[in-house]
Amino acid sequence: MAWLAFGNPIVTSPPAPATKMTPVKQMMAWPRDLRLNPMPGLIHDGLEQRFGWRVARFGYWRGLVGRDVILHISFPHEAFRNRSKAITLVRAALSFWLLRLAKLRRHRLVWTVHNLAGHEGHHPRLESAFMDRYTRMMDLVVHLSGAGRDAALARYPQLADTPAVIIPHPHYRAPETGAPTREAALRQLGLPPDCKLLLAFGAVRRYKNLVALIRAFSDLPGDDIRLLVAGAPLDARLAGAIREIATDPRVTLTLRRIDESEIATLFRAATLVVAPYFDILNSGAAFMSLTHERPVLVPDRGAMKELQSGVGADWVGLFDAPLTPLLLGSAVHWAATPRGARPDLSAFAPERSAASYDAALSKLLGIPAGVT
């Protein structure tokens, strides 16, 4: 395999501000940041603020004429989310030829592997053909875990010849000082102050298995438990199916865009965050939960066992069986057990991730890492 490295140790104190921006340390990010997934923004902000990088937002025109030496891509599958084959063909063609042009202009292409395929699967053959060519164009691949690396190589064996680095997914920083207590958060949500709340958070998509979650929860006895599903649906038919089965008065649906100001309240109110996905490689919801000091239940797939090993079984619960009322009941009991300490997220510090990205990108360009 091409050079494979792990991230650098965390930088314990911020380096002095750069006095001069190094022109070569500039890149375009696709995306630069996301509203409900802070990870891209954390990495790119860290590169700018600590290591002198200039990180621009992706744009087709900038991709054609910009002088950025690196194009950093996080979610190449987004071109395939539309049900229309015609629209998808146009998007895929634009993406492919922009990447080809970038290669001709000697730009470096870097892929952070969040997922191996699109979640919706509307056009699998077209997506597979695109990804076969896409993976062969990469100059550097960033895996978020060892399990993620192994899964990527199994699906795309051609990546074995591409330089790679493992940089763990960062947490989302400590909650703000003014975050509400659990009792206050429950009160803001109009829920009983003594209830045990299961939270399913994030965009409502089929792979998240929410229909099965609601059905299993509805068969779970207990007047003191609640389920809250919060997130904007990306599929109107799925939203309709969820509304149709959510007849249990203990289930609350907030099927809309969640403002950033609401996120802390949702997680602070939760007893347990549930991410019962059909398939999973990495999970932003899991890191959001741990950042807000809430235990999370996830399938024993992808990088989740590594996450449990890194944070502890008190905070990450794994399951490898059908989602049943018994399983949910056991998970609620586990989550409600008092914990004496916060989850140890030091291995997932954003500063550590940014330092590791700086080291990997600098090595790719053949320049010194750190502030110049």
One DSSP character per residue, 97-139 reads HHHHHHHHTT-EEEEEES-SS-SS-SSHHHHHHHHHHHHHH-S
pLDDT per residue as tens, the chain (372 positions)? 565 555 544 444 444 444 444 457 999 999 998 876 889 999 999 999 999 999 999 877 776 666 768 999 999 988 888 889 999 899 899 889 989 988 888 899 999 999 998 877 788 999 999 999 999 999 999 999 999 999 999 999 999 999 999 999 999 876 666 678 899 999 999 999 999 999 999 999 999 999 999 999 999 999 999 999 999 998 899 999 999 999 999 999 999 999 988 999 999 999 999 999 988 888 889 999 999 999 999 999 989 999 999 999 999 999 997 899 999 999 999 999 988 788 999 999 999 999 999 999 999 999 999 875
Alpha-carbon gap, residue 164 to 162, rounded angstroms = 6
The architecture of the domain spanning 4-170+349-365 is 3-Layer(aba) Sandwich (3.40)
Predicted confidence at residue 1, as pLDDT, reads 54
Integer CA distances (angstroms), 287 to 151, 331, 371, in order: 20, 18, 28
Same fold, 4-170+349-365 and 182-345: yes
CB atoms within 10 A of CB 200: 22
- Assess if CATH 3.90.1150.10 describes domain 182-345: no
Instruction: Decide: helix, strand or coil at residue 29.
Output: strand
Residues 6+ apart with CB under 8 A from 184: 268
Name the maximum alpha-carbon separation found in the chain.
Answer: 63
Region at 254 (left for phi over 0; alpha for psi -120 to 50; beta for the rest)? beta
Predicted confidence at residue 10, as pLDDT, reads 41
Alpha-carbon gap, residue 277 to 149, rounded angstroms = 20
101 φ, ψ (degrees, to nearest 5): -65, -40
Q: How many residues does the chain have?
A: 372
Tokens 């292409």 locate to 109
Domain ranges in the chain are 4-170+349-365, 182-345
- Find the radius of gyration of the CA atoms of the chain: 21
